[in-house]
Amino acid sequence: MTQKVIVVVSVQMIIFAPSMEKHIKPYQNDKDTKKKQVTKMFDGIAKSYDALNRIITLGIDLRWRKNIVRMLARENPKTILDIATGTGDLVIALSSIKNATLVGLDISPGMLEIGKKKVLDQALQDRIQMVLGDSEQLQFEDHSFDAVTIAFGVRNFENLDKGLKEVFRVLKSEGQLLILETAVPKSAFFRFFYLLYTKKIMPSLGKLFAKDRTAYAYLSDSAANFPCGEAFNNILKKNGFIGVKDYPQTLGVASIYSAKKP
């Protein structure tokens, strides 16, 4: 019995343990940069992204976004930049903050077009501007925004430090940064089922509904390898942010990171 237990644990570790690879890209055999690959990937899954996201997260991601809105509303920001806005779910939710003007920025034209349509459908075009742009080369002047939000986007940055430095640059003094990102649960029990789901089931759902298993395998791998919790807090501090805190969500499968520019 002892030998069998050792074998089972070893196999689980091989299959489900996060890789230590640093440079994870959607298409490993493609020579394009991660940035170009991420753009291509999201353009390819844009039409099915919202529906599949609701299925994969069981709709819980909507609650996480509401938590961001509630946290940011306390700061009463007047200008908000939502980076990696995708199809616009978060920037539209943030429009509930009174008197705030918003910009949603994304590198994927395909995702952005869907976001633009959603903004028009909700008659929010006077408050929300949807723009094509690179998170690591923001086209805005220094000290432009009271707040910056990023939902499920920082792990897609090609250069994480460069992207965070750009966020720091465009934030006003005492500006608020809120980041929602997936995380690996600390509990060994929940971590096992989380990795089973994300590494085995999620890519299969991606292939079934989005016809792209590779894209959802990448999203799973990048989430498993992202430096979550205290490790990401330290990265934020290294890039000049203060008052850094993280708030685990739903058994630790995601976290909201809160930080400010001095």
What pLDDT, on a 0 to 100 scale, did the predictor assign at position 175? 98
d(CA 197, CA 98): 39
Chain segment 96-116, per-residue pLDDT in tens: 999 999 999 999 999 999 999
**What is the pLDDT at residue 30?**
79
Whole-model pTM?
Answer: 0.87
Mean pLDDT of 131-151: 98
C-beta neighbour count of 56 within 10 angstroms: 20
Dihedral (C-alpha) 33, 117, 166, 178: value to the nearest 10 degrees? -110
For the stretch 175-209, pLDDT in tens is: 999 999 999 888 888 888 888 888 888 778 777 77
For the stretch 201-258, pLDDT in tens is 877 877 777 677 788 788 888 888 899 999 999 999 999 999 999 999 999 999 999 9
Mean pLDDT of the chain: 88
Amino acid (1-letter code) at residue 245:
K
Find the helix packing angle between 34-57 and 213-225, rounded to 10°. 90
**Sequence spans of domains, the chain:** 56-185+227-260
Question: Where does the pLDDT of residue 26 fall: very low under 50, low under 70, confident under 90, or very high at 90 and above?
Answer: confident
Per-residue pLDDT band for 60 (boundaries 50, 70, 90) equals very high
Crossing angle between the packed helical segments 60-73 and 34-57, to the nearest 10 degrees: 110
Share of the chain above pLDDT 70, in %: 90
Asked whether the predicted pLDDT for residue 153 surpasses 70, the reply is yes
Give the pLDDT band (50/70/90) at residue 87. very high
Assess contact for 215 and 44: CB atoms under 8 A. yes
Q: Which fold has domain 56-185+227-260?
A: Rossmann fold (3.40.50)
Between CA 219 and CA 25 the distance in angstroms is: 9
The number of angstroms, rounded, from the C-alpha of 213 to the middle of its chain's C-alpha atoms is 19
Q: What pLDDT, on a 0 to 100 scale, did the predictor assign at position 6?
A: 30
Q: How far is residue 130's CA from residue 193's CA, in Å, rounded to a whole number? A: 37
144 three-state secondary structure: coil
Three-class secondary structure of residue 240 per DSSP: coil
| Kind of pairing between the strands at 128-132 and 101-106 | parallel
pLDDT for residue 109: 98
For residue 85, what is the enclosing H or E element?
none
Mean pLDDT lowest for which of 12-21, 23-32, 46-55, 234-243? 12-21
Give the rounded percent of residues in the chain with a pLDDT score beyond 90: 67
What are the angstrom distances between the C-alpha of 100 and each of 40, 58, 72, 121? 32, 30, 11, 19
Tell me, what's the pLDDT at 190?
Answer: 84
Q: What is the pLDDT of residue 143?
A: 98
What stretches of 69-208 adopt beta strand conformation (E)?
A: 79-83, 101-106, 128-132, 145-151, 171-182
Position 84 confidence tier, pLDDT thresholds 50, 70, 90: very high
Give the Cα separation of 126 and 143 in Å (integer).
Answer: 22
